[in-house]
Amino acid sequence: MTTIDWAKLAGALDGTTAGASIDTNVSMSHDEMTLSATYSFQQSAAPATWQVAANGEGLTIAYSHESSDDARDMMHIRSENGTFNYAMSGTVSGDITGLTLSLTVLAQLSIGMTSAPDEEANVVDMRLTIPYAIALLPNGPYQVTPGTVTPFNESQQVDFGPFVQGGMQLTDQSEGLQFRVGQIFAACGNLAEVIETVLNPRPA
């Protein structure tokens, strides 16, 4: 029975999932009496790549990034602190009859200020599981068919209201991060042709 070239499949999947390696950043500062906080993100310049599992069957991927900062006003009366942490992991398992791809992304954001209670939330808490059926057609090539996507999304929002009311100037990109992850998950549901190129290599 034909076996899957896991190393070749890893390289084929890297382009789709590269965007899931994300660097989060929190920056806090003061300008005279005004406290400012910015929560932002960008794609990593060194994205994680799929690796063949230790037992030689299947693939794994993982990436994480942490950011934290704090600041005080000039009078040292008010202070602020925050964190913005990100983690992604995934697996591909199965054999020549079918594959299952799973991805999990968790982004945790926290914020604190002297005049407001601390707030924290999993601003991205998303998981994706999608099976791909593999069938050998009568004329030889393998055909890959995506199955039903099983999404999971328990992402939350942080209530920044008390901080803004307390005089904080806030920039928050956490909703944009959730949208970005959703786009990557959608792309992972359309990998049938990518997998077929690995299973049906062109003659040299």
Query: How does pLDDT run across 115-129, given as a tens digit for each residue?
Result: 777 889 999 999 999
The closest alpha carbon to 84, from 113, 118, 107, belongs to 107
Measured distance CA(115)–CA(26) in Å, rounded: 19
Measured distance CA(157)–CA(42) in Å, rounded: 20
- Highest mean pLDDT of the ranges 124-128, 139-143, 199-203: 124-128
Mean pLDDT of 153-170: 86
Q: What is the pLDDT of residue 136?
A: 92
Measured distance CA(60)–CA(187) in Å, rounded: 18
Q: What is the pLDDT of residue 198?
A: 94
pLDDT tens digits, 57-72: 999 999 999 999 988 7
In 16-115, where do the E strands start and end? 22-31, 34-43, 51-52, 59-65, 68-72, 79-95, 98-113
Query: Among 140-144, 178-182, 191-195, which stretch is predicted with the lowest mean pLDDT?
Result: 140-144
The one-letter code for the residue type at 91 is T
